[in-house]
A and B are shown apart, each in its own frame.
Chain A
Amino acid sequence: MTDKIKIENVDLFYGDFQALKNVNMNIKENEITAFIGPSGCGKSTLLKSLNRMNDLIEGVKITGRILLDDVDIYKDMDATVLRRRVGMVFQKPNPFPMSIYENVAYGPKTHGVKGKAQLDEIVEKSLRSAAMWDEVKDRLKKSALGLSGGQQQRLCIARAFSVNPEVILLDEPTSALDPISTMKIEDLLVEIKKDYTIIIVTHNMQQATRISDKTAFFLVGEIIEFDETERLFSMPKNKKTEDYITGRFG
């Protein structure tokens, strides 16, 4: 499989604070890559660097290169184009205060899709991919805020699908959800990885072992270990990784 994203010598600073230290990593297409590590270790920061959401925070400085299909996303790509190709799902479900339909149609509309039939098709397809079409097809005009937390999060995933991304970033997408909703989303991610490249930040190590192909362990801004998930959890090479996954700290 080809490398979808290449991260080369990335350092990232919030003002004077260095949040990422010389990060190098290649992320393969059609795999699920999990980022684990204790709070403040830089895993979310790296995730947000991959679609330049860090641009929105003042005082962020990033050096090194991040390549998407061998194009430098900070130098040679417009942020809006990048974010259409690299979608994001956030920790807290954040549907817009609009109807379910409008939530999904928002993305294609901003990217110039106008025809009603075409939008209808995109909405249905996206909701189907997020495994929630049957649940909501009869109330597409109802406010998205009336959905349960788990449904809201899957709606956000559908919203990410709506602009036909290649990569989907998920920042602890299930940490605010109950176990059944969590399971639905995990099943969904495994189901869709054949079409997308998926990167997920998680606090839940069982989640990483359940769904991911590769896992990266972060500690204070550095990648300590990055390997096949099975190998990382069964035979960690680094003592720190072992301490973390066996629950000695974190």
Chain B
Amino acid sequence: MQTRQSNFNEIVMQAIFFLSALISVLAVLAICLFLFMRGIPAISEIGFTDFIFNEKWGPVNIPASYGILSMIVGSIYVTAGAIVIGVPIGLMCAIFLSEFCPDNIYKIVKPAVNLLAGIPSIIYGFFGMQVIVPFVRENFGGNGYSILSASIILGIMILPTIISISESSIRAVPESYAEGSYGIGATKEETVFKVMVPAAKSGILTSIILGIGRAIGETMAVVMVAGNAVMPLNKIELLKPIRTLTTNIVTEMSYASGLHESALISTGVVLFVFIIILNASLSLISSKTQRN
């Protein structure tokens, strides 16, 4: 009786765990299904090349045009800008925290980094609008709403991702590597930069890819500082406004209908494909790491 009872409990618990696991899988499937079911027909109606490789976005023009190339390029630009700004700072911070930071400073910096991760994106956007946009306007020209402003804000936003994952991967490098390096007369700096950091490279790469994912998918902070004008490709400049895939959706969704609405969902499909590519490269890295 006792064993039957505990067997029963075990089966129930297993079912609960299985269901919990199932829910996240179902959620992903449902989102994919929704996106592709609503997005793909619109892409075929507009025409794949006209949608992806056309820079002209005029959903209310007659005749309407639905090209998102300018936004794809915009997303890539602001993300690249975020990487250029965020990766060196984040990586240096991670190296400092894991290898050089005295305890009393660590106690201040680490919670600050964690807090940075928890700040809502609307606050980032607000900060960008009030501080970074005027700063860019006054120091670099233009009206401030620009690729540069978006890149700066996104660069700050991806810092916690890059810092915490890089830091823990550098910390996970066995101390025996450092000993081996010190043992042949290397200095602390040589040991850190030539042995410890290279040994953590797969973790560091992972942090950068997750940072890219965060930056490319960010919407609210970008919409508040990027100016959101659809720019023809030859007019895209660092100090000019830009529209990204995400901000295209959020700017127009409230009043779109019909093919216009579907085209916005298709914009989401393109974004989703980017994310899938990023995730695929992540699992590629981790499988490669495991093989070594």
Mark A residues whose CB is within 8 Å of B: 51, 53, 56, 80-84, 87-90, 92, 94-98, 106-107, 110-111, 143, 145, 156, 159-160, 162-163
Contact = CB atoms under 8 A, between A and B. Distances in A.
A94 B179 contact: yes
Given A56-B179, A80-B186, A94-B177, 14 more contacts: A82-B185, A83-B185, A84-B185, A90-B179, A96-B180, A97-B177, A106-B184, A107-B185, A110-B184, A110-B190, A111-B185, A159-B184, A160-B183, A163-B184
Given A90-B176, A143-B292, A96 B183 contact: no
Given A96-B177, A96-B199, A97-B177, A162 B184 contact: yes
Contacts of B185: 80-84, 107, 110-111, 163
Interface string B169-192: 000001011111111111100100
> What secondary structure prevails in chain B residues at the interface with A?
helix
Contacts of B178: 56
Interface of B: 174, 176-187, 190, 194-195, 198-199, 292
Contact of A98 (B174, B184, B187, B198): B198
A87 B190 contact: no
Q: Which 6 A-B pairs have the closest CB atoms?
A: A84-B185, A94-B176, A88-B183, A83-B185, A107-B184, A94-B180
B183 A90 contact: yes
A160 B292 CA distance: 24
Which residue, of B177, B180, B187, has the highest number of chain A Cβ atoms within 10 A? B180
Nearest to B199: A97
A53 B199 contact: no
A88 B185 CA distance: 10
Contacts of A90: 176, 179-180, 183
B202 to A, nearest CB: 10
A162 B288 CA distance: 30
Contacts of A92: 176
B187 to A, nearest CB: 6
Contacts of A88: 179, 183-184
Nearest to A169: B183
A156 B180 contact: yes
Contacts of B190: 110
